[in-house]
Amino acid sequence: MSLLIVLFGILLLLLLIIRKLNPMIALVIVAIVTGLMLGMPANKVMLSISAGVGSTLGSMVLVLALGAMMGKLIEDSGAAKKIVFILIGAFGQRNIQWAILLTGFLVGIPLFYNAGFVVLIPLVFAIAATTKLPKLYVGIPMAAALSVTHGFLPPHPGPVALAAIFHADMGKTLLYGLILSVPIAIVAGVLFPRMIIKRDRKVFDSPFIITDESSLPSTLSSFTSALLPVFIIIVGTIGAGISYDYSFKSLFIFLADPTVALLTAVVFTIFIQKIKITAAMESCTAGVKSIAMIILIIAAGGGFKQILVDSGVGNTVKDLTSTLNLSPLLLAWLITGALRITLGSATVAALTASGIVLPLIGFGASPELMVLSVGAGSLLFSHVNDTGFWMFKEYFNLTLKETFSTWSVMETIVSVLGLLGVLLLNEFM
């Protein structure tokens, strides 16, 4: 019965948005209605929504705001345009998706998906504007690379947490994850958008002309500005990962935090690009204003997600799937996928599923492959109860139908191919 109520809530949300109601307002209304229908006391419903909003914004609002500031500074200084010229020169307009895919991998490994998305989105828009290619044509490779790293590759927090729970070897998990990630990212990030997005062939054939390059920042300062937060987090992660204690370890742990890295990068960018403080602050303010509604929508999505978690819907999914007699790897993927579709959060789905499938390790499934199977399941069919769905929709200014046919399908491709890859590795490893 609870799953039918959740389905009703999702259908109500779709109806409200189709009727042009603001997504943030629609999400809050649906969260309240769903919570009450699931039998939660009225006061508990509002407490749950508040907790969901708080936990969602508490973990990402500074990252979103600083990322928007960073993106605007890079855009206004001309650094983004300079990077576009360098990437197009190195890969060519015809192969620009490969450049974005590679950049997404580099950024996605140390950063949470939302942080990586915010860091890279100005670059995607700058490339699309400069090359006159559709935004989604260059945006989907970025999203695919970030999703793959989110699900499969340590030291990303999700796979690291699962590896610790399953007592998996981190090196093997990373190796198997890389074997899966490269072909999956190519299919979902390069081949998939080429199949569904129309683009003008003349764009690839016409020569790319660089104008006013002398007014742009240097190559070194441009790439330093754009990649500085990633570099800081990588250095911090490596330093924090050293097993023994030493005097500077707390500093590396501090630097590994995305908020610290982005704040440091914002300050350094102002000095590296020699931007006047007044102009820099105007850019920062404009950057935050541009994502204000997106932040509110993400917050409301976090409230809806928390209603589903606190109401015990996840336990219902556990009960329905735990008695199935299937391969441990397939069962882990199915349980995680069911939780993902129901709860929305990939991280919540993966960590919830880990408690169910933990006893299955060793019965035809290694801990490392179980990490990857759960990671793949956590990416299955992102939809309206996932904050990533709303980020993609709002940033690219898509309709719900367009978001389902691009973002949701891309995530499902990554998930299904991840399962197939895990089953294949299980036969040969």
357-366 per-position pLDDT tens digit: 777 777 678 9
Tokens of 368: 């490392």
In terms of DSSP H, where are the helices of 111-257? 113-131, 135-152, 157-166, 170-186, 192-196, 201-205, 219-240, 249-255
The total of other beta-carbon atoms located within 10 Å of residue 220's CB is 9
Closest among 316, 339, 285, 348 to 56, alpha carbons compared? 348
Whether the link from the prior residue into 41 is cis, omega within 30° of 0, is: no
Residue position matching structure tokens 């509002």: 46
DSSP class of 208: P
Backbone Cα Rg of the chain: 22
Give residue for tokens 């700058």. 126
User: Do 158 and 375 form a contact (C-beta atoms < 8 A)?
Assistant: yes
pLDDT at 201: 58
Residues contacting residue 148 through CB under 8 Å, at least 6 positions apart: 105, 108, 181, 184, 185, 188, 414
Q: CA-to-CA distance for 339 and 316, rounded, in angstroms? A: 10
Specify the 3-state DSSP secondary structure of 47. Answer: helix
Tell me the two tokens of residue 381.
């069919």
pTM: 0.73
Residue range 306-326, pLDDT digits in tens? 887 788 876 776 666 666 677
- Buried b or exposed e, range 63-87, using 16+ CB within 10 angstroms: bbbbbbbbbbbbbbbbbbbbbbbeb
Q: How open is the CA angle 111-141-20, to the nearest 5 degrees?
A: 90
Max distance between CA atoms of the chain, in angstroms, equals 66
* Tokens standing for residue 192: 């998939």
C-beta of residue 304 within 8 angstroms of C-beta of residue 336: no
Task: Say what the pLDDT of residue 239 is.
Answer: 84
The whole-angstrom separation of Cα 43 and Cα 7 is 23
> What integer pLDDT is reported at residue 368 of this predicted model?
92
Q: Do residues 380 and 407 touch, judged by C-beta distance below 8 A?
A: no
Distance CA 89, CA 98 (A): 13
Predicted pLDDT at 148: 95
Round to whole Å and give the CA distance between 396 and 366. 40
Q: State the 10-residue block means of pLDDT for the chain, 429 residues long.
A: 81 80 87 92 93 81 84 83 78 87 79 77 85 91 93 79 82 88 96 86 54 76 83 81 80 85 91 90 89 82 82 71 75 88 80 75 83 95 88 92 95 97 90
Q: What pLDDT score does 379 carry?
A: 95
pLDDT on residue 164: 80
